[in-house]
Amino acid sequence: MSAGPLLTVDDLSISYGSRLLVNGVSFALDGGESLALVGESGSGKSLTARAIADLLPAGVSATGRVLIEGAPVRRPRRRGRGDSPRVGLLMQDPFTMLNPTMTAGGHIAETLRAAGRPRAEIPAEVSRRLAEVGITDASVARRYPFELSGGMSQRVALAAALANDPALLLADEPTTALDATTQHEVLELLRQVQRDRGMGLVFITHDLRVAFDLCHRVVVMYAGSIMEEAPARIMRRDPLHPYTRGLLESIPSTDHYQGNLRGIPGSVPATHTVLDRCPFADRCDERVDACTHVVPPLVEVAAHHRAACIRIGELVSTTTATSVGSARVTDHVGDEVVVRVSDLRKSYRVHGGVHPALDGVTFDLRQGEALGIVGESGSGKTTIARCLLGLTSPTDGSIEFAGFGVVPAQRTAQDRRAVAQIVQCVFQDPYSTLNPMHSVGTALGEALSQRSRPVTDRDHEIASLLDRVGLPASMATRRPASLSGGQRQRVAIARALAVEPRVLLCDEPVAALDVSVQAQILELLREVNRSQGTSLLFITHDLGVVRQITERVLVLYRGEVVEQGATDVVLDAPTHDYTQRLVAAMPSTHVAQEA
Partner 1 sequence: MSADSTGAQPSRATDTSIDEKRRTRWGPVFWVAVVIVALFIIIAITADWIAPYDPYAQDLVASSQGPSAAHWLGTDQLGRDILSRLMVGSRTGIIGPAVVAICATVIGTLLGLWAGFSGGIADSVTMRSVDFAYAIPPLLLAIVLVGILGGGYWLAVAVLIVLSAPADVRVVRAAVLAQREMPYIAAARTLGLSQMRIAFKHILPNVAPTLAANALLQFVVALIALSGLAFLGIGVSAGTPDWGLMIAENRSILDLNPWAVIGPALCITILAVSVGLLGDRAFDVTTKRINER
Give me the residues that bind partner 1 (CB under 8 A), please: 11, 13, 15-20, 23-24, 59, 63, 269-270, 272-276, 389-391, 413, 416-421, 423-425, 427-429, 432-438, 446-447, 450, 479, 481-482, 492, 495, 499
Radius of gyration, alpha carbons of the chain: 26
CB of 94 to partner 1, least distance (A): 23
- Which amino acid type is present at position 92? Q
Strand partners, 364: 340
The residue (of 233 and 416) whose beta carbon lies closer to partner 1 is 416
The nearer residue to partner 1, 261 or 483, going by C-beta atoms, is: 483
Least separation in angstroms between residue 20's CB and partner 1 is: 5
Three-state DSSP at 83 gives: coil
Give the DSSP per-residue string, 137-197: -GGGGGS-GGGS-HHHHHHHHHHHHHTT--SEEEEESTTTTS-HHHHHHHHHHHHHHHHHH
534 phi and psi angles, rounded to 5 deg: -75, 130
How many Å apart are CA 390 and CA 416, to the nearest integer? 7
Could you tell me the smallest distance in angstroms from the CB atom of residue 290 to partner 1? 17
Closer to partner 1 by Cβ: residue 389 or 402: 389
d(CA 126, CA 105): 6
Compare residues 428 and 534 and give the one whose CB is closer to partner 1: 428
User: Least CB distance from residue 518 to partner 1, whole Å?
Assistant: 18
Residue 127 dihedral angles phi and psi, to the nearest 5°: -70, -30
Least distance from C-beta 21 to partner 1, angstroms?
A: 11
Q: Which is nearer to partner 1, 86 or 478 (CB)?
A: 478
Query: Between 10 and 314, whose beta carbon lies closer to partner 1?
Result: 10
Tell me how many degrees the CA angle 440-446-447 measures, rounded to the nearest 5.
90
DSSP 344-409: EEEEEEETTEEEEEEEEEEEEEETT-EEEEE--TTSSHHHHHHHHHTSS--SEEEEEETTTEEPPS
Cβ at position 277, least distance to partner 1 in Å: 9
Give whichever of 131 and 275 is closer to partner 1, judged by the CB atom.
275
Closest CB to partner 1 among residues 11, 467: 11
Q: Kindly state the smallest distance separating residue 388's Cβ from partner 1, in Å.
A: 10
Q: How far is the CB of 314 from partner 1 (least distance, A)?
A: 24
Q: Is the distance from CB of 67 to CB of 10 less than 8 angstroms?
A: yes
